Structure 1
């Protein structure tokens, strides 16, 4: 008979295997070729940050939340994604979230950010090429007559900033061993490689530059219908809400930059209540992470590098530099 924690572990890993890995990791290579460090390598900040899947997923939700402040992104989602449900008879968007479509989007996002972090060099390059080709097709006109284009350099820069900010911020808030200060800036610098592979230019390379980039877009932002209907009291009334959705919605709003929190009229509770809420989110996210254990892709990537005679980092702890060759030399010295 399985103990409660073993049953939870089984259910979580089974869900990950059945709903994410089997559907969205096809063709991705993590256990070869031998010695290939991939885009980042075992000593990188990216390996450390992305090794905590629940915090990574929360970070992607933080990014999606602030992305919806841009009306162009909202209409890109309406016109070009399955996230918005459509009327079964007319095919017109209902403006409600399609749970299955949202799950598909999340699955693709997880495979991209795990694949580019831990996959072989060829895998990371193929993922970036696929996503960039998809972005080339996302062009259209908003109902107010303004055009949108996912290849627009200014838009790409801002959209990149939402993603790296979301992942790094969730990491700082809820990872048990978070990078901060100069160490989290190293993550921002490393992650630029992903943004450039997707066509981004002049990308922010530090936390401060990223926050400045996000704020600079403020004149173009607004509370879209998607934002209004997917947060706060409206989330509580949603027909297809996820269990604990209100709880995580609070965590996302609590992590927003001050100007963004003001847009959704969020004010943090008193310090004691806020600390208790954050502790609850921390316990939930890290409880899931502990139950699941390190991702198999992380272990495969470690073994891939170790098979070249390099001792891998045995736990997802940030200890080394960012250059793969330098990291390999440092690991050899540690052996």
Structure 2
């Protein structure tokens, strides 16, 4: 694992946030790759088009650890990596999502993982979950200025999705209003319930490949993360999805996780060691930040500056020909969409196996 300063590759620049930013503060806390990410992917499944895409690929069932690894790597790149790497990752993600199209299994219609509404749902569910877990199991609420900066940063990060950055709420009230708007659209369909329960099995991500002597402790940690994640879910959501956990567990898990995360955060090397168990491909993204290794260029860019410098289109406008060909293959010719984006993504987002 690259935890020695001499073996860590520095980023090209500070990307889009940099040291002192609230993004580095919140996304750099150990709640982010654990409870927060698990919460995000569980809640996401209540969106019918999104869960249809997830169910269509079956990746979360066939390779849950790999899917978790690649998802965490992408979001961590947006938060911490250099601007060129982020632009490249966002560009290839559009190609990956071009394959995730099809017919909705319930109610008719079609789904497209590149659809702006689906991308907005993913963006806000992810950033909200990261902040929620930080507040519940970390140092607590941000200041008013920090929270304002956080949601403005969420809009910056949205420039690497296909959703319009202007659709991102800029405060807590706006985020609440968005989720209230989405609530009638949420559906705990059979495939959504299946996915949510599956994604709460933390052991599927944490235990594979571990030596036998580490597994008892890892299983305890997995169960604690699961309990902590469930404790963040609203009661109505749990009832809808058939997820059960006692109120006593909800209460007791908070001080346990707060103490555990605070202790872990004292040691960057320990944080990296845990991260390698969860998401090996994310370690090179986060290690320079955790170990205080400066980038080659002391610079923070805007997304527009980065696209101009590195030669990338906005994600919403990228690879339109490929997306049209994929749709023609599936809906016109009855063939499966090609894997070209998925295969190419391995060099950027991590291996598929």
* TM-score (norm. length: structure 1): 0.67
Of 116, 138, 153 in structure 1, the residue corresponding to residue 116 of structure 2 is: 153
- 1:201-255, CA deviations, whole angstroms, 9 ceiling, x for partnerless residues? 112222322222122122222213355346679978x999962444333322321
Aligned to 2:128, which of 160, 165, 170? 165
Alignment partner, residue 254 of structure 1: 231
Partner of 1:213, secondary structure, is helix
Unmatched runs of 5 consecutive residues or more in structure 1: 1-13, 18-28, 86-100, 311-321, 325-335
Name the CA distance, whole Å, in 2 between partners of 1:283 and 1:66.
Answer: 25
For the pair 1:183 / 2:153, whether they are aligned, the reply is no
Please state how far the C-alpha of 1:41 moved relative to its aligned partner.
1.6
CA shift at 1:141, angstroms?
Answer: 0.7
Give 2:294's aligned residue.
303
User: CA contact under 8 A between 1:232 and 1:249: conserved in structure 2?
Assistant: no
Aligned partners of 1:80 and 1:138 also within 8 Å: yes
Aligned partner of 2:75 in structure 1 is 113
**Aligned partner (choices 192, 195, 202) of residue 155 of structure 2:** 192
Task: Return the match for 2:10 from 23, 26, 31.
Answer: 31
Q: Look up the match of 1:74.
A: 51
Report what 2:319 is aligned to. Answer: none
Match of 2:163, SS state, is coil
Q: Distance in 1 between matches of 2:129 and 2:241?
A: 17
- Kindly state the Cα deviation for residue 114 of structure 1 after the two structures are TM-superposed: 2.2
Q: Distance in 1 between matches of 2:115 and 2:258?
A: 37
Gaps of 5+ in 2: 208-218, 273-285, 303-353
- Superposed CA RMSD: 3.6
Residue 129 (str. 1) matches residue 129 (str. 2):
no
Q: Tell which deviates more after alignment, 289-298 or 54-63.
A: 289-298
Structure 1 residues 30, 172: CA separation in 2 closer, same or farther (over 3 Å shift)? farther
Higher relative contact order (CA 8 A, sep 6+): 2
Q: Report the counterpart of residue 103 of structure 1 in structure 2.
A: 65
Question: Any residues of structure 2 matched to 1:224-239 within 5 Å, and which?
Answer: 224-229=189-194
Cα contact 2:49–2:111 (8 A) shared by 1: yes
Number of residues of Structure 1 aligned to a counterpart in Structure 2: 267
TM-score, normalising length from structure 2?
0.64
